Amino acid sequence: MFIVLEGGEGCGKSTQIGALVEHLRNAGHDVVATFEPGATARGAALRRFLLADESPLAERAELLVMAADRAQHVAEVVRPALARGAVVVSDRYAPSSLVYQGVGRGLGVEAVAAISDFAAGGLVPDVVVVLDVDDATAAARRPVAEDRMEKAGAEFHQRVRQAYRDLAATFGWTVVDARGAVDDVTAAVLDAVLPTITSR
Ligand code: TYD
């Protein structure tokens, strides 16, 4: 069972992943909580490379290094965990590349999907939940911009949020309204995830 949480900056994803993982563990599941980019030792180096705000990074290079991180993550963390029967909950996965690089950077969703699928060896999540907030809420929740992606600007981040909504139907992602109180959003995330888990 492979669950992915997604969303633009300031959507409250970290809080909701914590709540989801706690719920699943309390229900007795073996849960591996992980993230992209940077969950492996090699990936941590790639994450620094990607997010350090040093010299400019070409958009295609950004995509390919995100993909390299995904390849390592799938091989080292996700596939082994799934093979032993664990529930894997990942903070971001391929949908982030489709949205940030495909739409945000304008590289094209189809091209990015092909590269990401190759990197992941075709591994597709069972459930993708997108936390959706309006621009004002995101701006209020977003931390002070520090890394290279956060500094990409308000217009880029609005495009990212819109792309999650636009691509959801095509890719079968469940969009959850994340504007409300934390507990209400957690309940909506569980509604999206639990039917798939219990049907296994
Ligand atoms: P992170 O600090 O994990 O962000 P957040 O707290 O918003 O989840 O940084 C990850 C950044 O990398 C985030 O801005 C999204 C971006 N990203 C991509 O652009 N493409 C990708 O494929 C992935 C996995 C992340």
Q: Does ligand 1 come within 6 angstroms of the Cβ of 6?
A: no
Rounded distance from Cα 181 to ligand 1 centre (Å): 24
Which residues neighbour 109 within 8 Å (Cβ) at sequence distance 6 or greater?
98, 102, 103, 167
Mapped onto helix, strand or coil, the DSSP state of residue 6 is strand
Report pTM: 0.96
Which residues neighbour 192 within 8 Å (Cβ) at sequence distance 6 or greater?
127, 129, 174, 176
Mean pLDDT of the chain: 95
Cα(25)–Cα(17) distance, integer angstroms: 12
pLDDT of residue 42: 98
Q: Ligand 1, atom 23: nearest CA belongs to which residue?
A: 96
Rounded distance from Cα 199 to ligand 1 centre (Å): 30
Check whether 146 has a pLDDT greater than 90: no
pLDDT of residue 140: 86
pLDDT of residue 186: 97
